[in-house]
């Protein structure tokens, strides 16, 4: 990997994403694999490779870059998220959003078509 090139791209604001992002705001839940406890969240954007979640307050405990998680997003027109179809993902980065909310970027471990069909 050419560190100088990626640093230059970041400095110039070049988008290195693998796929386009679409703004989508829906209810979501994220949890560590095998955990019965999930964290309520909402999506900010999504792509075929992953999504950006917004999590209120201190709800992001245990969500660190590199950790594996499972995520589910509410279907269009449904306010509630059912727990039977979590999709495996990996935390890419964690940052601060507005009003003390955490922003958690996830990369799907499957293709988006498979993930969204779940």
Show the tokens assigned to 37: 């406890």
Q: In angstroms, what is the C-alpha Rg of the chain?
A: 15
Look at residues 118, 31, 114 and name the one whose alpha carbon lies nearest to residue 67: 31
> Element (H or E) spanning 26, and its range?
none
Alpha carbons 74 and 5: distance in angstroms, whole number: 39
Go through the chain and tell me how many residues it has: 118
Higher pLDDT among residues 94 and 57, named by residue: 94
Mean pLDDT of 8-23: 60
Q: Residue range 49-62: average pLDDT?
A: 83
48 in a domain, yes or no? yes
Residue % of the chain over a pLDDT of 90? 43
pLDDT at 9: 46
Q: What is the pLDDT of residues 73-86, one digit of tens each?
A: 988 777 666 666 88
Check which CATH number belongs to the domain holding 82 and give it: 2.40.10.220
Query: 118 pLDDT exceeds 50?
Result: no
Asked if residue 67 is part of any domain, the answer here is yes
**Could you give the number of structural domains in the chain?**
1
> Of all residues in the chain, what percent carry a pLDDT higher than 70?
69
Question: Can you give the pLDDT at residue 11?
Answer: 47
* In-domain check, residue 8: no
Quick one: pLDDT band at residue 90, thresholds 50, 70, 90?
A: very high
Quote the domain boundaries for residue 92: 18-117
Hunting for tokens 């998220």 — which residue is that? 81
């Amino acid at each position: 990997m050419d560190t100088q090139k990626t640093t230059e791209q970041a400095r110039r604001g070049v988008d290195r994403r693998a796929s386009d992002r679409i703004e989508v705001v829906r209810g979501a839940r994220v949890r560590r694999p095998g955990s019965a406890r999930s964290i309520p969240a909402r999506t900010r954007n999504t792509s075929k490779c992953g999504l950006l979640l917004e999590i209120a307050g201190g709800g992001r405990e245990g969500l660190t870059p590199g950790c594996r998680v499972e995520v589910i997003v509410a279907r269009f027109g449904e306010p509630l998220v059912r727990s039977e179809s979590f999709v495996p993902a990996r935390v890419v980065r964690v940052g601060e959003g507005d009003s003390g909310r955490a922003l958690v970027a996830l990369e799907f471990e499957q293709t988006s078509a498979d993930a969204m069909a779940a």
